[in-house]
Structure formats: C-alpha cells, structure tokens
A and B are shown apart, each in its own frame.
Chain A
C-alpha cells in the first residue's frame, strides 16, 4: 500500500493536518506511528484505513480487507457483545456459521467470553477496547490499523496485541500501529514513522543497530512524568528503581536489576549498555552527569531526543557494537 503525496485538513479553511505524506508499506511489514498528541497520528491511520479521504494525493494498493481498531471504541450502541460482533462479522462478509465461529474464537482469545451477553454501553473502557480489537480481527485483514491499541487494556491482553500483529504479518498482511506511550517496544522489528508538523519521517536504523543504556536520577515525584516523556520521545524504559541503595526493581522488565555501585550492564544481547563511569554525556554542560542511580533508559538509534534531555548519552568507544 502506498500513500502518495497525501494532504488532509478537516475543514476547507482549516490548517493542513497532513502535508504531502509519501510513504509505502508492504506485505509482512509493521510500522509504528509515533508523535506527540494532536500531531495527526490518528488522521494518518484513518487515511490509511480508508476512513478519511485525502484532500490531495491518493492512497493506492490498499488491501481489500482492512481491520481498523479506533482509538475509542464506540460503545454507545444497543447491542450485546455477541450480537454486535456477529453483526460485524456478517458485515465483513462471513457466512452465518463462519461468523459464529469467528466470534467464538475471538471472544475466547481476548477474554471476552463472559461478556458475550453484556450490552456494549455497560462495558468498561478496556473491555470495550477488546471488542474493538475483536471486530477488526474477525476476518483476517490484509491491513490492520491499530490506533493506540494498548490504551486501557489489562496486562494479559497487552501481551496479546503483538501476537495478533504477528499473525497478520504471517498472513502477509501489513500492520500500522500508533503509540504515544512507548508500548511498541514490544514490536522490535517495526519500522518507526514519526509524525510532526504534518509531515512524516521514517527513522532509519543505523547500520550497527547500536543501543546504549543510560541511567538517570530523577526526583521520586517526577518519575511517572519523566518515564512518560522519555517514552514519548521513543526511548525504551527498561525499569524504574526506587532508590540507589536498594537494588530491588519496582517496575519490572526483561532487564535484570543493576547494582548501583558497579552498574554492570545486563540488558540482553541487543543492547550493550554503557557503564556509567565510561559514559560520556552528549548534551553538553546542561546535562547532569550520568550516575548509577534510579532509572535506566535505552536510547534507540536515531531517537528524537530534544537537546538538554538528561537521559541522552552516547555509548563510549568500545561499549557499543
């Protein structure tokens, strides 16, 4: 599928939300659309899904079957979960028996089985979001468009999202995902598209895929906001520790804990970390020195750090692959 010089605005005299976006995605590819709130991620996804029509430019070679998971599932509808999903399966062209099978399969997989007889307006936000996921997967899509699919989902279902994406990719489908919370670290092979000022730039991974681990100390009260900001900038948060003196990890991930004094890097083969002692701050005098303290963040190659962010560190010679 290809978006050719796509321009879009919502009103005739309104500002252009997308300006000359030109991008292509092929079968078996997944792209993550990054960017801050309101930059046009959802707009781009809706153009790709065929929901919005570009004002200028065009979309070519869109797969016939598209699954779209909107950012907010429209739960203000007078149907039960089962009735709604069966109806949507029929709308997607499945026969009666096939629709029933598909609904049974996806309600089971997404943990919706006990909600089948519940009316949509009575669902919690997360459960409604699962119904949104289910309706997109009822018929295997050639293009799956997920708008912030992790919002409101429980841990078990969050883990299921990459699995669903892999299934679509395995069926030679393409997947577009938007994410402003950094959950897409769960999609290691994804292309990364950043939307800003109406245009789209693709981050090209550097040749050696070098990744560095940076440890940053922040006041405890600002942990959540810092984590959110770093994630929004495309960094991968490996974990958060409460205090340098206690090495017990609070927010877990695949990475083992770091000893504060030695800070031995152990973040897996893909990310050779930087030892704090050897780390060289990149961002000049404004950046505080890197210490073996509270927080570790991995800088992705080609990340979108703003200058002055204390978390930005270049791997020292010999540390990165």
Chain B
C-alpha cells in the first residue's frame, strides 16, 4: 500500500503535471494577499476557500496521470480496496503539501500581520485556526477530485463539469442565507467562523459536517468506480 502511494506520487511529480495546480494556487493566493495585510485567521479562512477547487483539480490530475491499464495492474497486486485507498492517500498527501505552501506563502509576501488592535488574536492562535480551516478542506477537495477523475466519470468533459459544479457550488451554497448549505462542504462557513468567534463547539460541528460530506462524496466515487469496472 505504502509502495503504491509512493509510486503514484512519483508518477504525479515526474510528469510535471503537478505544476499546473500549484501555479494556479500560487496565482490565486498572490491575488488574495496582494490587497494588503490581514489577520492570519481571517486571511487563512479565505485562502482555504480559494484552495478548495485547486486541491480538487490537483487530485483529479494525480489520479488521471496513471494510465488505466496501470491502475488495473496495481489492482491485481494490492486488490480493489487497496488500489482505491492508495489513490486517495496519495492525493491527500499531495494536498497536504500544497496546504503547507499555502500556510507559509502569506508570510513570505507580507500578506498577514501580527496582532495590531487589542482584540486581535495572537499569531499562534491565528495559525492554528488557519491550519484547521485548510485541513478541513483537504478531505472534501480530495473527495470531489476523485469523483471527477477519469476512472470515476469516464470522459474528460464530465470530469471538468463535476469539478466546476463542485467548486462553484461550494461557494454559492455556502453563502450566508443559503437554502441548502449542507449540499456543499462547509468551507465558506469555516472561513466565517475562524474570522469570527471561532467557538469550539462550532468548529467541532464544522468538522463533522466536512467529514460527513467527504464520506458521502467518496462513497459516490467508490460506487462509480464499481460501476465502471
């Protein structure tokens, strides 16, 4: 299993296709932090929202880089479940690496600042909330990217449609006053919460929501894979 995760990550990194989502992420973050300095928690909340479609796209690329026959060869070696889990794990690790870049990036470009006003949070607390917001996005983005992968949807057009729908839906359905916020992962709600009072119970609720949404979408991915053979 570990060997297969390593092989898939190596395949992803060696093709150079890893660069596209990373560059897109950096451009998005550059735009985000170009507007001036913000408090870490607030900035990271928005950064996580921006990264959601980027990480989903990255996951789709990682899963699509492997030829179909190679995926079947892996399946023969490690079994159906092992192959699925290895793909999701590899995508999760790649997403964590991108998250690490996103967490460091604003400090390099001066996009965030320490406490200015008396009520501002300390830097460690801001960082912790930012980490939370990003980690909450990872499973949801990996799940959406997997659902949009070629092995799941077949044609490339459907994959892009799933990605676009998921990315836009997460923002639109996540706006305050949304009629069906639970249809989307709580990335917008998380951004609002970490910028606001960040009550522990609310954060716990958001975690459960994000995990439940991710589990449901991963379930859809596994069902599609089963149907695709």
In the complex, the answer to whether A78 meets B11 with C-beta atoms within 8 Å is yes
Distance in angstroms from A308 CB to nearest chain B CB is 39
- A120-157 interface bits toward B, Cβ cutoff 8 Å, 1 = contact, 0 = none: 00000000000000010000000000000000000000
The answer, yes or no, to whether A269 is at the interface (CB within 8 Å) is no
- B77-90 interface bits toward A, Cβ cutoff 8 Å, 1 = contact, 0 = none: 11110000000000
Instruction: Report the separation of the CA atoms of residues A91 and B83 in the bound assembly, to the nearest whole angstrom.
Output: 10
In the complex, the answer to whether A79 meets B77 with C-beta atoms within 8 Å is no
Distance in angstroms from B62 CB to nearest chain A CB is 13
In the complex, the answer to whether B72 meets A53 with C-beta atoms within 8 Å is no
- Chain B residues lying within 8 Å of A93, measured Cβ to Cβ, are 77
In the complex, the answer to whether A70 meets B3 with C-beta atoms within 8 Å is no
Question: Which residues on B are within 8 Å of A, measured CB to CB?
Answer: 3-4, 6-7, 10-11, 14-15, 66-70, 72-80, 226-227, 229
The answer, yes or no, to whether A107 is at the interface (CB within 8 Å) is no
Instruction: Report the separation of the CA atoms of residues A214 and B69 in the bound assembly, to the nearest whole angstrom.
Output: 42
The answer, yes or no, to whether A68 is at the interface (CB within 8 Å) is yes
- Chain A residues lying within 8 Å of B69, measured Cβ to Cβ, are 70, 72-74
- Chain B residues lying within 8 Å of A66, measured Cβ to Cβ, are 76
When A72-B69, A74-B69 are in contact, do A53 and B226 touch as well, CB less than 8 Å?
A: yes
- Chain B residues lying within 8 Å of A79, measured Cβ to Cβ, are 10-11, 14
Distance in angstroms from A211 CB to nearest chain B CB is 37
Question: Which residues on A are within 8 Å of B, measured CB to CB?
Answer: 10, 12, 46, 49-53, 66-68, 70, 72-74, 76-79, 83, 87-88, 90-93, 135
- Chain A residues lying within 8 Å of B75, measured Cβ to Cβ, are 50-51
Distance in angstroms from B31 CB to nearest chain A CB is 31
What DSSP secondary structure best describes chain A's contact surface?
loop
Q: How many A-B residue pairs have CB under 8 A?
A: 61
When A78-B14, A91-B77, A92-B77 are in contact, do A51 and B72 touch as well, CB less than 8 Å?
A: yes
Contacts A74-B73, A79-B10 aside, 7 further interface pairs with beta carbons under 8 A come to A49-B76, A52-B229, A66-B76, A67-B76, A79-B11, A83-B10, A91-B3
Instruction: Report the separation of the CA atoms of residues A17 and B95 in the bound assembly, to the nearest whole angstrom.
Output: 40
- Chain B residues lying within 8 Å of A74, measured Cβ to Cβ, are 67-70, 73
Instruction: Report the separation of the CA atoms of residues A92 and B79 in the bound assembly, to the nearest whole angstrom.
Output: 10
- Chain B residues lying within 8 Å of A92, measured Cβ to Cβ, are 77
Instruction: Report the separation of the CA atoms of residues A73 and B77 in the bound assembly, to the nearest whole angstrom.
Output: 16
- Chain B residues lying within 8 Å of A88, measured Cβ to Cβ, are 7, 73, 77
- Chain B residues lying within 8 Å of A87, measured Cβ to Cβ, are 3, 6-7, 10
In the complex, the answer to whether A77 meets B70 with C-beta atoms within 8 Å is yes
Query: Of all chain A residues, which has the CB nearest B68?
Result: A74
In the complex, the answer to whether A135 meets B73 with C-beta atoms within 8 Å is yes
Distance in angstroms from A8 CB to nearest chain B CB is 8
Which of B67, B74, B76: most chain A Cβ within 10 A? Answer: B76
Distance in angstroms from B203 CB to nearest chain A CB is 38
- List 25 A-B pairs, Cβ < 8 Å: A12-B227, A46-B72, A49-B76, A50-B75, A50-B79, A51-B72, A51-B75, A53-B226, A68-B73, A68-B76, A74-B67, A74-B68, A74-B73, A77-B11, A77-B67, A79-B14, A87-B3, A87-B7, A87-B10, A88-B7, A90-B6, A91-B74, A91-B78, A92-B77, A93-B77
Distance in angstroms from B77 CB to nearest chain A CB is 5
When A79-B14, A87-B3 are in contact, do A70 and B72 touch as well, CB less than 8 Å?
A: yes
Query: Of all chain A residues, which has the CB nearest B226?
Result: A53
Instruction: Report the separation of the CA atoms of residues A257 and B186 in the bound assembly, to the nearest whole angstrom.
Output: 80
- Chain A residues lying within 8 Å of B3, measured Cβ to Cβ, are 87, 90-91
